[in-house]
Amino acid sequence: MKTVGLILGVLAALGMLLGFIPLLGWFNWLNIPFAIIGLIISAIGKSNEGMVLCGIAVLVGIIRLVLGGGIL
């Protein structure tokens, strides 16, 4: 579970970077639930690195959606 949580954390971080590209901000709508699932799996597996990566991806994704007008 630790390895799966870390892999999901890395993928969520890459998805977060993809969401920074102009006109691809909508990708945060897909990345945030994916990162939350990764956060839950990382918490079960007690993977601190995965939890940090997923947590950052969730927070930055929400901030990006708010600033871009995706959440009104």
Which alpha helices (H) appear in 1-72, and where do they start and end?
2-18, 28-45, 48-68
Is 58:21 a contact under the CB 8 Å cutoff? no
SS3 (DSSP) at 46? coil
pTM of the predicted structure, to 2 decimals: 0.89
Give pLDDT, residue 72: 64
Closest CA to 35 of 6, 64, 63: 6
Tens digit of each residue's pLDDT (9 = 90 or more) over 10-54: 999 999 999 888 888 888 999 999 999 999 999 999 989 999 999
Give pLDDT, residue 23: 86
The pLDDT-based confidence of 1 (bands split at 50, 70, 90) is confident
